[in-house]
């Protein structure tokens, strides 16, 4: 079970924020003078961008005497939270016609234990306390994306759910960095 903070920082986005109904622009193309935009709305996302960067960005924006804007962020890294039951069934991305790996929901299965103990480098399991209205979920580190900083901040104002406490968010951050820095070996 992770430790959660329900207090919202209304001034800025924070690492570990969980925000509801965040849009991901899949693509935007022009066809015969018409612009077609495809978007996916994720029920919940977790903010992965380092808190020091988010704090420096905020401090630089409010400092009227700042001589440059090198701390400003264009976008924020987030990852969707997937309902654990949908992950077990491999259906968490069925709305975009993707069938994912099935993971046994049996508590005794090795795949389930590996997932829930966060021993699979690709996934991070989040068990929420009962007073948080989110089902137990999984972050799939392969599905991270960025959201425009201002768009995400405006979304947070209306759709903030909770924030993962500092100790737990640092663990998630290290696991995400480790997943991204892995070295792919060719299939032989």
What confidence tens digit (pLDDT) does each residue in 140-171 have? 999 999 999 999 999 999 999 999 998 899 99
Residue 170 lies in a domain: yes
Per-residue pLDDT band for 181 (boundaries 50, 70, 90) equals very high
**What span, in angstroms and rounded, lies between the C-alpha atoms of 8 and 128?**
17
Q: What angle do CA 14, 10, 3 make, to 5 degrees?
A: 50
Note whether residue 163 is domain-resident: yes
Q: Is residue 130 part of a domain?
A: yes
For residue 74, the domain's CATH number is 2.30.30.110
What is the widest separation between alpha-carbon atoms in the chain?
59
Q: What is the pTM of this model?
A: 0.90
* Domain ranges, residue 101: 13-180
Residue 24 forms part of a structural domain: yes
Tens-place pLDDT, residues 69-92: 778 889 999 999 999 999 999 999
Dihedral Cα 91, 95, 97, 101, nearest 10 deg: -20
Instruction: Give the pLDDT score at 78.
Output: 98
In total, how many domains does the chain have? 1
């Amino acid at each position: 079970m992770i430790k959660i903070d329900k207090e919202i920082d209304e001034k800025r986005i924070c690492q570990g924020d969980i925000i509801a109904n965040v849009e991901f622009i899949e693509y935007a193309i022009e066809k015969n003078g018409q612009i077609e935009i495809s978007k996916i709305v994720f029920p919940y996302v977790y903010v992965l961008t380092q808190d020091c960067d988010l704090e420096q960005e905020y401090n630089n924006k409010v400092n009227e005497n700042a001589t440059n804007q090198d701390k400003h962020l264009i976008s924020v890294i987030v990852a969707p939270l997937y309902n654990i039951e949908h992950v077990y069934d491999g259906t968490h991305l069925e709305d975009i016609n993707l069938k994912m790996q099935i993971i046994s929901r049996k508590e005794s299965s090795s795949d389930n234990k590996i997932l829930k103990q966060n021993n699979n480098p690709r996934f991070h399991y989040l068990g929420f306390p009962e007073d948080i209205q989110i089902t137990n979920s999984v972050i799939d580190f392969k599905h991270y994306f960025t959201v425009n900083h201002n768009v995400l901040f405006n979304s947070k104002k209306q759709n903030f759910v909770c924030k993962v406490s500092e100790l737990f968010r640092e663990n998630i951050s290290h696991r995400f960095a480790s997943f991204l820095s892995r070295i792919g070996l060719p299939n032989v």
